[in-house]
Structure 1
Amino acid sequence: MTPTPSRAVALYGTEEQVPPPRLLTAGPLSAELEAGNLRDIRFAGAEVLRAVSYIVRDKDWGTYSPTLDALEVQQEPDRFVVTYRARVAEPGQAFAYEARIEGRADGTLTFTGSGAAETPFLTNRTGFVILHPIAGVAGGPVTLTHVDGRQVEGRFPDLIDPVQPMMDLRALEHVSPEGHRVHCLMEGDTFEMEDQRNWTDASYKTYVRPLALPWPYELEPGARLEQKITLRITGAAGAATRAEGVTLDLGREAGRMPALGMGLDPGDAAAALTCADPLRALGPAHLLCHHDPRRGHDRASLQAQLDVAQALGAEPWLEAVIAATDDAGAEAEVTALGATVAGLGAPFATVLLSPAPDLKCTLPGSVWPEAPDAAALAQVARQAFPGARLGGGMFSYFTELNRKRPPVDALDLVSFTTSAMVHAGDDRSVMESLEALPAIARSAAEIARPLPFAVGPSAMGMRANPYGAAPKDNPDNIRQAMNFNDPRQRGLLGAAWTLGALAQFATGGAEAVALGAPVGAFGAVHVPTRFPQPWYDDHGGLYPLFHPLRGLARLRGQPLRRVDSSDPARVLGLAVGTPGETEIWLANLTADPVRLHLPQGARQMACLSAAEFAEAAEDPGFLDRLAPVPDAGISLDAYSVLRLLGAF
């Protein structure tokens, strides 16, 4: 019998231990202290801010992990005070700072940061970042105080804003969903806001130093940065409470279950063929075959990917990067690629094209790099790929799609990808990213109108980095932002996130969703790799996310309904099928067990939790093993996936 992995590996794919945050309280005010910064700031139990952080970023927008020293915490019933020293460093440069945090029972919170570079220090951002929640806030009113003292009335964006919705800021004030008035004063520099839902963060971010200023910029040794955030919370609203369990009901109809696909890198084609049997059982509807001539891809690499698609029974889609940056060169390149594809038998029913410059970010206010005209490129593609459905958009993230809109009149389909760890890599931030996906779906539908939109290939990790040289290789198998190979892809957390992402995009109207890859860093099935895969390197098998992908891929085209969760931050899902025979798929998005209150009609169930990890890794049909729903109800363990059948 295959041994069961440790609970840490089953849940997260890594033995890395993460210290729990420290809860700070001052009467009704509370916050969690995590690595010197504040998260989950609440008043009378209700969230008022998602985070206040003092961060230091490198020239590629990566965030340093500071080394803390002399940390002291004073905790009294009506007051807390935190002080510490911190330092970040890499070969050739270092920056040190001191912080002081104070919270009072009257709803006042201050966070002061004072620091200086020890050497010339190159950075894209150093200073405070404030995260405002989106639930109950999106589309709502806010009072802005500008640096010159002017006050104006505004609104938090509803559809996702491609540029900064609020600039030249000194203070913001809004009313929380629970009725608390939240006033945030930001001193020491000019602040502005971006809509972080662009990157699937569940927040609006107010940050230091306008993006219109040059970056990266150099901090001179000894020159001090002095900044301060003051939060004042007022209002006599009642205390927020969380129910013991989560109640689930079937919501409104949401169209049809979309086609579920995967993405394939040519470098993984040979390994994918070694796993053809379980991957065929997974049943992806389509396989995005990647082609980038800058990486040496050619006819042979296309054929290798087509062989995988045929072995899996998946429809091949072409995802082609166009390297030429001028119109004439791009026309010649697309024409030549069309001839190559015709020589392979014209197997691609859908062709997606992207100019190479669009794979990198262009910040608001920056000069767009030279690139071929998108509409002209589409016209050439019509001739090069006759009969194929033509897609455009971005192979990078929704952010780039939102900032550079495709010529929908020249296309048949609009596409983009997502990643859950552009800005943060901790478990909570990864799961919170699911909150932003409905807004991304609504915004993408508006951009694509009247065309359909497709998502992917998407995953928790980053397959490419539009904001720097490359994603992080992660040889130490840890949680961190911008990971290429993230350990949680192989854990139950990865399965829960995948099901949550699929539920949000499916009910959000996506025509097709591609999540992950057959094998590799974003894979569903284990193969040997250059990075560590605890337990799997000894036993092999299927990753937990294989099972919800397989189960839902089989339901393509069936009627789709939302599942209304009383607490979607804890349990998320979707329902597929007819009223007489419906499948409900649910995921626990947290590290704690959750008691479920199910709708009437549930008859049978199958569950994948840490206890069944080893069995599920060996059996593609594991979630076909149905059992009666127990009369005592269901408690869903950490990051577990549940399949329910019944007449709902």
Structure 2
Amino acid sequence: MDEAGSLGIPLEVALAVSSSEPEGQLSELRDWMAELRPAVCAWLVFPEHEPYTGGNPSEEIARLANRILKPNAPSIPLAVGTNTDFIFLKRTRLPLQWMDQVCITLNPQVHAFDLQSMVETLEVQPVVIESARRMAQGRPVRVSPITFRPRFNPYATGPQAQSTPGELPPQVDVRQASLFGAGWTLGSLRAMVAGGSESVTYYETTGWLGVMESEKGSPLPHLFPSVAGSVFPLYHVLADYGEFAGGQACALSAASPLIFSALALKRGEHTRYILANHTAESLTIELETDGETLDVWSLDATNAESGMRDPEGYRQKAGVPTRTQNGVALFHLQPYGLIRADHHPVRSTHFLLGFSRDAGVSS
């Protein structure tokens, strides 16, 4: 709650409700919220235990949440769904009469763990959102959270196993702090826009599951190397997006979505393009635009460390003016690199044309 207050954003309150004492838990939450009075944007409620075979008590929990939480805050939407894999949502009938929205979670490592497989999941994310929307008969879809790995084992039949001392916990992925992780995050943001999600929550705030390292640094630096107090590269993707709060977002069509992702943001006359290379090779990407000049920032292996150690300094630097040729801008992305390109003003629609693996050669 303190972090939300510091960031100036409302809370998305998620409660995994015990089937043995649901009314007591929900009443305790109501009383706690009445005492502290934080700003809340949504309630998310789901059973503490979700059987894989379906038949969880979502309807009873949703009914109680409406009776207990709604009277004091009728304008705050109540989201009901799953706190684990999407298949769990499909195995239980949604209590449509008691819910305003449906909530789901996503992670790219349920079945495979290599980089290519993780990128391939980006094309599936809009499909999952649309499927959840259909199941909820058109109600908005809230995705919370998106993480790199499952947060727990939903198929376990007993207590969750503790991580072995000296090893990374199973929910931690070193790619959280990598350029690849930043590019994957951009691809996921694009997927959320394409799928029309109502809202999305990514990661945690600090630590090896967050967007920046803690002040103490990594507990296992030999396995999860990082710099205490620094940000991770994906911080800049979220910052690039957040600077256009209140604007519009457009999922740009990529010639090869498994190679790169691109997103356009617009607020007023200011347009921003964010592009990410998902591969270990350099790419040249073409963007059609009516602007004559774009201000361009790169984030790649040549400057990632400085951008992590001094994020404010990185973001305050002036972009490199880049002129278009016959209405087409060429962007050269380093392996797993990202580019932010700003144009002001803008007067028409923009879209991606193609890419080339050989820098300087367009297709």
Shorter-chain TM-score tier:
0.7 to 0.9
Partner of 2:341: 644
Superimposed CA distance per residue, residues 267-313 of structure 1 (whole angstroms, 9 cap, x where no aligned partner): xxxxxxxxxxxxxxxxxxxxxxxxxxxxxxxxxxxxxxx22211221
Instruction: Give the aligned residue type for 1:628.
Output: P
Match of 1:413 in 2: 101
Against the structure 1 CA distance between its residues 474 and 585, is the aligned structure 2 distance closer, same or farther, given a 3 Å change threshold?
farther
Matched, 1:324 2:15: no
Q: Residue 313 of structure 1: which of 8, 11, 15 is its match?
A: 8
Alpha-carbon distance in structure 2 between the residues aligned to 1:400 and 1:392: 12
Which whole-Å deviations, capped at 9, do the CAs of 1:397-455 have from their partners, x for residues lacking one?
Answer: 32222222422332222111111111221122112111211211211221233321111
Partner secondary structure for residue 192 of structure 2: helix
The aligned residue for residue 377 of structure 1 is 64
AA of the residue aligned to 2:201: A
Which one has the bigger helix percentage? Answer: 2
Q: Deviations over 1:136-175 (max 9, x none)?
A: xxxxxxxxxxxxxxxxxxxxxxxxxxxxxxxxxxxxxxxx
The one-letter code of the counterpart of 2:12 is W
What is aligned with 1:337?
29
1:614 is displaced (CA, Å) by 1.2
Task: Give the letter for the 2:98 counterpart.
Answer: A
Corresponding residue for residue 90 of structure 1? none
Shift in CA distance, 346/572, structure 1 to aligned 2, threshold 3 Å: closer
Match of 1:596 among 285, 295, 308: 285
**How has the CA–CA distance of structure 1 residues 320 and 375 changed in structure 2, closer, same or farther, with 3 Å as cutoff?**
closer
Following the alignment from structure 2 to structure 1, what is the Cα–Cα distance between the partners of residues 28 and 308? 43
SS in 2 for 1:595: strand
Residue 614 (structure 1) aligned to one of 300, 305, 328: 305
Q: 1:324 to 1:435 in 2, by over 3 A?
A: same
Q: In structure 2, how many angstroms separate the alpha carbons of the residues matched to 1:489 and 1:554? A: 22
SS at match of 1:395: coil
The 3-state SS of whatever aligns with 1:464 is: coil
State how far apart, in whole Å, the 2-side matches of 1:407 and 1:591 are: 46
Match of 1:416, as an amino acid? I
**What's the offset of the Cα at 1:463?**
1.7
* Greater RCO, CA 8 A, separation 6+: 1
CA contact (8 A) 1:415 1:453 kept: yes
| Greater than 4 Å deviation, 4+ residue runs | 369-372, 469-478, 533-540
1:585 aligns with 2:274: yes
Aligned to 1:629: 322
> Could you tell me how far 1:584 is from its partner in structure 2?
1.0
Distance 1:367 1:564, change over 3 A: closer
* Contact 2:213–2:227, Cα closer than 8 Å, also in 1: no
Contact 1:584–1:644 (CA under 8 A) maintained in structure 2: yes
Tell me how many residue pairs correspond in the alignment.
332
The alignment-based identity, stated in percent, is 26
Judging changes above 3 Å, is the alpha-carbon distance between structure 1 residues 619 and 356 closer, same or farther for their aligned structure 2 residues?
same
Residues 367, 484 of structure 1: alpha-carbon distance in 2 compared, 3 angstrom cutoff: closer
Q: What residue in structure 2 maps to residue 489 of structure 1?
A: 176
1:526 touches 1:543 (CA, 8 Å); kept in 2?
A: yes
Please give the secondary structure, in 2, of the residue aligned with 1:635. Answer: strand
The alpha-carbon distance between structure 1 residues 570 and 512, as it changes in their structure 2 partners (threshold 3 A), is: same
Whether 1:399 and 2:96 are equivalent positions in the alignment is no
Q: Residue 476 of structure 1: CA displacement?
A: 7.2
Superposition CA RMSD, Å: 2.7
The amino acid of 1:318's aligned partner reads V
- The answer for the alignment partner of 1:437 in structure 2 is 125
SS at 2:40's partner residue?
Answer: coil
1:321/1:354 contact within 8 Å kept: yes
- Per-residue Cα deviation, 1:500-540 (whole angstroms, up to 9, x for no partner): 10110122101111111111232111123433366854554
Match of 1:571 in 2: 260
SS at match of 2:31: helix
Q: Distance in 2 between matches of 1:567 and 1:383?
A: 46
CA distance, structure 2, for counterparts of residue 640 and residue 476 of structure 1: 32
Gaps of 5+ in 2: 351-363
SS of equivalent to 1:645: strand
Q: Aligned in 2, Cα 1:579/1:351: closer, same or farther, shift over 3 Å?
A: closer
Q: 1:609: how far off?
A: 0.5
Q: 1:578 to 1:322 in 2, by over 3 A?
A: closer
Aligned counterpart, 2:240: 551
Deviation at 1:604, TM superposition (A): 1.5
Amino acid at match of 2:129: A
Name 1:521's counterpart in structure 2: 208
Residues 418 and 473 of structure 1: CA distance in aligned 2, closer, same or farther (over 3 Å) = farther
Greater CA radius of gyration, 1 or 2?
1
Q: What SS does the aligned partner of 1:521 have?
A: coil
User: Does residue 351 of structure 1 match 2:43?
Assistant: yes
Cα distance in 1, alignment partners of residues 226 and 287 from structure 2: 38
Whichever structure has more strand as a proportion of its residues is 1
- TM normalised by structure 2 equals 0.82
Match of 1:425 in 2: 113
Flag the 1:446–1:515 CA change in 2: closer, same or farther, 3 A: same
Q: Provide the C-alpha distance between the structure 2 equivalents of 1:541 and 1:392, rounded to a whole number of angstroms.
A: 36
Matches within 5 A, 1:230-309: 306-309=1-4
For residue 447 of structure 1, the aligned residue among 135, 145, 152 is: 135
The structure-2 alpha-carbon separation of the partners of 1:367 and 1:411, relative to structure 1 and needing over 3 Å to count, comes to closer
| Contact 1:389/1:412, CA 8 A, preserved across alignment | yes
1: CA distance between counterparts of 2:322 and 2:223?
33
